[in-house]
Structure 1
Amino acid sequence: MTDFKDIDEATRTELEAAAFRRLVQLLRDNPQVQNIDLMNLACFCRNCLSNWLKDAADARGVELSKDASREAVYGMPYEEWKARHQNEATPEQAAAFSKGAGGSHA
């Protein structure tokens, strides 16, 4: 069995990209999972993924707007996704975000 670190760089990149695409599809397929819940549970959300995508583009000199990176993750313009799927945070969600993992996201 090959260790992940021993796989050639091009293949590793392909595998990582496939995992990223699968995660993004899972999030698109489950819009009922709110970003604040993701932040409180895992310290990242859809916006984080879109920011990381933009950061990667910037690092490679690829022009990618914040709106375009969000649309790549959300599968639609961000404002449309918010109007369709985003709920107001409950007091419990907001409190958890303020005191816990959500408040320390990147």
Structure 2
Amino acid sequence: MVAPHSFDQRVSRAVLRRLANARLRSGAEVFDAVVERLPRTAGEYGDRTEIGTRITVLRSDVPSLARGATIVYDSASYTTEELGALAAVTYTVDERDEDDTFVAAYWVTKA
């Protein structure tokens, strides 16, 4: 018998699946993600703020994304018209932003 998932894990999964606005692929791994543009603090003392792109994923879908990994929109999940608008977008992982037991967030840049 398989042990049930914890309440926190079920909540994390349900919320991310509900809020996911993209189906992405990195190598062979395909996963749902929340892609958002957010203020990002930079500089040695946090003295600069810029707008960056952050993706949030379930760790059960994609355990880890290495710095420099390439992320694209999954071609099997979108129509031809949607892919036409998204085809030029390729992300590269810049750094991990947040990471907890169930969810991880990464700052990415457009390649």
Instruction: Give the structure with the higher percent helix.
Output: 1
Larger Rg: 1
- The structure with higher relative contact order (CA 8 Å, sep 6+) is 1
Whose strand fraction is larger, Structure 1's or Structure 2's? 2
